[in-house]
Structure 1
Amino acid sequence: MPDLSPVSLHPKRQPVLFLPHGGGPCFFMDWPDTWDTMAAYLRDIPHTLPQKPDAILVISGHWETRVPTVTSGTQPPLIYDYYGFPPHTYHLKYDVPGSPELAETVQHLLKDAGIPAEADAERGLDHGVFIPFMLAFEKADIPVVELSLQQDMDPALHLRIGQALAPLRDQNILIVGTGMTYHNLRHFMAANPQSDDASHQFDTWLADAVTQPATLRNQALIQWEDAPSARICHPREEHLLPLMVVAGAAGTDGGVRTYSDTVMGKSLSGFTFGG
Structure 2
Amino acid sequence: MLTTTTTRVLEPGELDKALAVLDRDPVTNAFVAARVQAAGLDPWRLGGEMWGWYADGRLESLCYAGANLVPICATPDAVRAFADRARRSGRRCSSIVGPAAPTADLWSLLEPSWGPAREVRSHQPLMIATSTPANIAPDPLVRRVHKDEMDVIMPACVAMFTEEVGVSPLAGDGGLLYQARVAELVSSGRSFARVQDGRVVFKAEIGAATQRACQIQGVWVAPEDRGRGLSETGMAAVLGYALREVAPVVSLYVNDFNAAARAAYRRVGFREVGAFMSVLF
Q: How would you bin the TM-score normalised by the shorter chain? A: under 0.3
TM-score by length of 2: 0.24
TM-score by length of 1: 0.25
> Which structure's CA Rg is the greater one?
2
With a CA cutoff of 8 Å and minimum separation of 6, indicate the structure with the bigger relative contact order. 1
Richer in strand (by share): 2
